[in-house]
Chains A and B, each alone.
Chain A
């Protein structure tokens, strides 16, 4: 790798999503220098070590679905700031934060829902995006997930969800907490209607999202190396004064403990989902 000496490379640690093309980057997992375009060509998976970079929801849709098949549903839901969470003393305004997130990400909220197809199989989808408020679950995330489930029931097509979440949308308080109940009810309705629900856990899927709809899939898949768990590592360390074992709360750990059906590389996800969608097609 002599060219390394000539080329500048940047670290992608801390980047929310998107590996820069045309540059050399240092893989946060294997620490090797890899060409950004190569990573991009592998759906933002490190060609050296299979590390899965975070991807934006639109990028994921482009790679996963049949070209041009996606139609977004319920695109105009935005947070209503139900608690009026503005604190003058610390100059903090939730409403303003939401506007900032919207500007920075081009998304209205941390979730996109819609209909699309994989290998011709029409499917309802729910995608979360970590770059919007750490994909914390507030009223909009809860409502849109429920609507996606109801749409799937109405059209009798399966629901595929790609979950990610850094935790609770604290700024919506207990109303935010209630989204766990609400989304669990959407899954109950899917179950009663015998509509298949495939839940894919991506990095990270933690807190209330993990303790509600994300772990209730008829089939639960995970991308490799994702952080998956309920209580945060730092919280556990702080509360118990213990050190966390290597590999704790990874996809592989949850697979070993029996909470994940399969760990599936991003590049193989489409082919496997296509099988599930064909084999489990609702009658």
Chain B
């Protein structure tokens, strides 16, 4: 089921005004554009809107970029799977404790081939967000993911992972059932996996909770997504006992897609439609489809091996040796 951008908007409108301050003018133009009576009027408004989106999104501060990544209207995993895959059959349960609705997965068909899909579904409506724990997984989520990775390896299916979580769930039961060991186990398993893995950060990738499903041969980030070791507000709280200094932390942590590509943490940046993926989920999904296709074609021609993946992650980090 595809949700159109209008549905996305209506859904979020039912709760609170989802728009960010620097989007107000664009939203106004978008509304006028929808009601435009003549072709001339439409064209003029479209030009004005294009210019306005370009202007508004070309000078965002690091904190505003965090806000875009956390935009309530941002497309979620299932918005992409419904557009990018021909079919998706969700599989449930970790075979030990239960099923985690925050970290989901299953079999998919991508352009006529079988793939395994795993990722965080953060939820759209308030109900869904609560039910899915805002995409924050428990250990059983990571163990379900591991089971699906192994299934993929067994049959030689490529894996596509969607990363969209602020963190692994911080909770008593999660600790009791081994949140740390579950994530650790996934890291080791993903690095050893003898099948190709493509990982894409959709919105906010947060700490070990994100990393636990994000060790792709290629790790991509959407242009306006962020990938953090800890949220900027928490970083500010820990370092300076002042969460209000989040803007300073957001800037210093270098969490944007292009910064992380230059640091070698990720491999590619997926450009978003003007004004962000939430304005045009179809356009964003199309970009993702093209990149996944390119990745799978590369794997078919043997530009892929677990060893390369291992070496890539081994090389991460910067130090001096005197």
Contact = CB atoms under 8 A, between A and B. Distances in A.
Interface stretch (A23-31, A36-44, A238-246): A238-246
B110 to A, nearest CB: 25
A139 B319 contact: yes
A242 B172 contact: yes
B208 A211 contact: yes
Nearest to A245: B172
B191 A184 contact: yes
Given A211-B183, A239-B171, A257-B177, 8 more contacts: A90-B245, A139-B319, A174-B229, A182-B314, A207-B208, A216-B184, A230-B168, A236-B171
Contact of A83 (B171, B187, B252, B316): B252
Contact of B184 (A172, A186, A215): A215
A113 to B, nearest CB: 13
A208 B208 contact: yes
Given A177-B207, A259-B178, A82 B318 contact: yes
10 contacts: A77-B319, A82-B263, A140-B319, A167-B238, A181-B187, A184-B191, A192-B192, A211-B187, A230-B183, A231-B168
B320 A180 contact: no
Nearest to A173: B253
A230 B318 CA distance: 25
A78 B322 contact: yes
A251 interface: no
A178 B185 contact: no
B191 A230 contact: no
Interface in B251-289: 252-255, 260, 263, 265
A78 B229 CA distance: 20
Contacts of B211: 177-178, 180-181
Contacts of B188: 184-185, 187-188, 191, 216
Contacts of A85: 252
A89 interface: yes
B157 interface: no
B43 interface: no
B178 A257 contact: yes
Contacts of B301: none
A110 interface: no
A34 to B, nearest CB: 32
A118 interface: no
A211 B248 contact: no
A176 interface: yes
Contacts of A86: 252
Tier of interface size on chain B: 35 or more
Contacts of A232: 170
A142 B235 CA distance: 20
A213 interface: yes
A257 to B, nearest CB: 6
Interface string A151-189: 000000000000000011111111111111110111111
A276 interface: no
Given A175-B317, A178-B316, A230-B208, A236 B170 contact: yes
B6 to A, nearest CB: 34
B319 A80 contact: yes
Contact of B320 (A77, A192, A230): A77
Given A90-B245, A177-B207, A178-B265, A188 B191 contact: yes
Contacts of B310: 185, 188-189
Nearest to B181: A215
A173 B208 CA distance: 12
Contact of B317 (A76, A182, A207, A211): A182
Nearest to A94: B252
